[in-house]
Amino acid sequence: MTDPMELHRRAMECADGAWSLRRTDGPQAGHDLLVEAFEAEAKAAWLVAAKHEYEPTRSILLRSAATLGIDCGRLGEAERLAAAGLAGTPPEPIATELREVLADVSFRRHLASMGVTLEPGEVEMRLGGRGLGSGQAWAETLFSKIHWLQTMVYRFADRLARRPYREGGGVSYDVRSRYGLIVSGTSAGSFVVSMRIGTTGQLDLFQSPVRVVSEVIGCLDLVNAGKAEEIRAAIPEEAYWRNFIGLARKLAPDGSEIDCVGLALRSPEDTRKVELRRPASQIRAARQDAARDPVTVVAEGRLSFAEGVANRNLIKLEPEIGDLQTVHVPEGMLADIVRPLWGEVVRVRGRRRGQVIDMDDIEPVE
C-alpha cells in the first residue's frame, strides 16, 4: 500500500480500534494497534514530506504521525516527523501544533530521565468567577485548587487500594510517585488548566489513574447535588469520608471571587465531568450523632500548637480574649485539613464534650 490517503485511512481505523480497546480494557490495551496506526501514518507522511506543494495535507500528515508516535512511545521518530513538518511551509496553526509536539517530546524525555511516564487522558480544571480575567488567575487561588485536587487524588488512590487511612506523615511516597498531576497548559476564557498524571513503575495493586480521577469527579458530583447519604455510601470508611468532605470544601468555590470549579476527565477509558458550584460554606460533614447532640459550638482563635495524647488528636486555639480552647480533631482531618492552617486564625465548629470541642470542620478567618 503506497497511496498516502489509503495509508492514512488505515492508520485512523487502527487508532480508533486502539482507543476503543482502551475504553473497555484499560490504558495498556490496544498498544499493538496504536503502533500499527503510527507506522501507517508515518509511512503516509514520509511519502509526501518532500512535496511542499501538497500543503497543508503534507504538514497535517506529519503532525498526525508525530502525535501518534508520542502516544505509542516512539519519541525519536515523532521528533523527526515534527521537524520535517516545520522544515516546509505549514500554515501557522499547524506550525504551532508541530512546535508543541517538539516541546512535548522534550518534556517526556525529561520525565523519562526521572522514571516517570504520562498516563493516557487529561484532567481539565476550569475556574470561573469575577476574580479571574481572560486567561489570568491569582497564583495563590490557582495553585491552591491544584494542590487540593492533587491531595484528593492521593487519598482516593490509597482508599481504592484498600489501605488504612494514613494520618501520620500524610500520603505515602509510593502513592505520590504513581499519581502526581503534571500541569500541561492553560487556555483563555475563564481560566483552564490541563493536567495529566505522571506515574513511576507498575501500578501493581493500585487502581489506574483514570479510575481514581473518575471516582474523585463522581463523588464531587454528589457533593454538588447535596447528596450526603450517597456520598457516605460511596466512601464508607469514616476517615476517608471526613477527609473527602474537608478537601471538597477546600476545592469548592468561595461563592464570591470564584463561583465555579469545573473538572473534566477525557480519556480513552472514561469521560466524566462536574461543575462544582456549591460554595464551601454549604458543604458540611453531617455527624451520625448530630440528632442526639444538635447544639453546635463555634470557637475562634489562633491555631498555636497540637499534642497527641493516647491517640487523641488535640489542637489548641488561642483567642484574643480568654483561655485556650482544646479541640479534638477526628481521624481524617489532621494531616490534610488542619496542619496547613498552623499559625492561622481559624474558626472551628463542633460539639462540646466537657472541656473539649469535638470538631466538625475548620476554616481560616479572613
Asked if residue 265 and residue 126 are part of one domain, the reply reads yes
Return the ∠ at Cα 347 (arms to 344 and 353), rounded to 5°.
Answer: 120
Asked if residue 105 and residue 136 are part of one domain, the reply reads no
Q: How far apart are CA 299 and CA 349, in angstroms?
A: 7
Looking at 230, 257, 282, the residue that finishes a domain is: 282
Q: Residue 143: what pLDDT?
A: 86
pLDDT per residue as tens digits for the range 286-310: 655 554 555 689 999 999 765 544 4
Name residue, grid cell 460511596. 234
Q: Is position 290 within any domain?
A: no
Q: How far apart are CA 17 and CA 39, in angstroms?
A: 15
Asked if residue 211 and residue 254 are part of one domain, the reply reads yes
**Mean pLDDT for all residues in the chain:** 84
Asked if residue 140 and residue 268 are part of one domain, the reply reads yes
Q: Is position 310 within any domain?
A: yes
Q: Is position 292 within any domain?
A: no
Q: Is position 158 within any domain?
A: yes
Q: Residue 10: what pLDDT?
A: 92
Asked if residue 347 and residue 277 are part of one domain, the reply reads no
CB contact at 8 A, 186 and 192: yes
Q: Residue 229: what pLDDT?
A: 92
Q: Is position 15 within any domain?
A: yes
DSSP sequence for 226-268: T-HHHHHHH--SHHHHHHHHHHHHHHS--SSS--EEEEEEE-S
Three-class secondary structure of residue 275 per DSSP: strand
Asked if residue 257 and residue 148 are part of one domain, the reply reads yes
Q: How far apart are CA 66 and CA 290, in angstroms?
A: 59
- Give percent of the chain above pLDDT 90: 44
Asked if residue 160 and residue 262 are part of one domain, the reply reads yes
What are 293's three cell numbers? 447532640
Rounded average pLDDT over 250-261 = 89
- Report the CATH number at residue 354: 2.40.50.140
What are 18's three cell numbers? 486502539
Looking at 53, 88, 113, the residue that finishes a domain is: 113
- pTM, two decimals, is 0.73
pLDDT of 358 > 80? The answer is: yes
Classify residue 159 as left (phi > 0), alpha (psi -120 to 50) or beta: alpha
Name residue, grid cell 495553585. 143
- Report the CATH number at residue 100: 1.25.40
Q: Residue 133: what pLDDT?
A: 61
What are 4's three cell numbers? 498516502
Q: Residue 82: what pLDDT?
A: 94
pLDDT per residue as tens digits for the range 30-56: 788 889 999 999 999 999 999 988 899
- Structural domain including 301 reads 297-364
Q: Is position 287 within any domain?
A: no
Asked if residue 193 and residue 267 are part of one domain, the reply reads yes
Q: Residue 134: what pLDDT?
A: 57
- Residue 62 burial by Cβ neighbours in a 10 Å radius (0-12, 13-18, 19+): buried
Looking at 95, 113, 131, the residue that finishes a domain is: 113
Asked if residue 227 and residue 132 are part of one domain, the reply reads yes
Among the residue ranges 166-170, 198-202, 267-271, the one predicted with the least confidence is 198-202
Q: Is position 87 within any domain?
A: yes
Rounded average pLDDT over 234-263 = 92
CB contact at 8 A, 286 and 228: yes
CB contact at 8 A, 85 and 98: yes
Quick one: DSSP state of residue 321? S
Query: Given pLDDT bands bounded at 50, 70 and 90, which one contains residue 263?
Result: very high
Asked if residue 271 and residue 195 are part of one domain, the reply reads yes
pLDDT of 60 > 70? The answer is: yes
Q: How far apart are CA 198 and CA 210, in angstroms?
A: 12
Asked if residue 270 and residue 133 are part of one domain, the reply reads yes
In this predicted model, which residue has the larger pLDDT, 321 or 302? 302
Q: Residue 68: what pLDDT?
A: 92
pLDDT of 189 > 50? The answer is: no
Q: Residue 87: what pLDDT?
A: 92
Rounded average pLDDT over 83-103 = 90
Asked if residue 315 and residue 258 are part of one domain, the reply reads no
Q: Residue 223: what pLDDT?
A: 95
pLDDT per residue as tens digits for the range 326-343: 999 999 998 899 988 988
CB contact at 8 A, 167 and 335: yes
Q: Residue 277: what pLDDT?
A: 92
- Give percent of the chain above pLDDT 70: 87
Q: Residue 184: what pLDDT?
A: 64
Classify residue 135 as left (phi > 0), alpha (psi -120 to 50) or beta: left
Rounded average pLDDT over 51-69 = 92
Q: Residue 306: what pLDDT?
A: 57
Count up the domains in the chain and report the number: 3
Q: Residue 309: what pLDDT?
A: 46
Q: Is position 170 within any domain?
A: yes
pLDDT of 1 > 60? The answer is: no
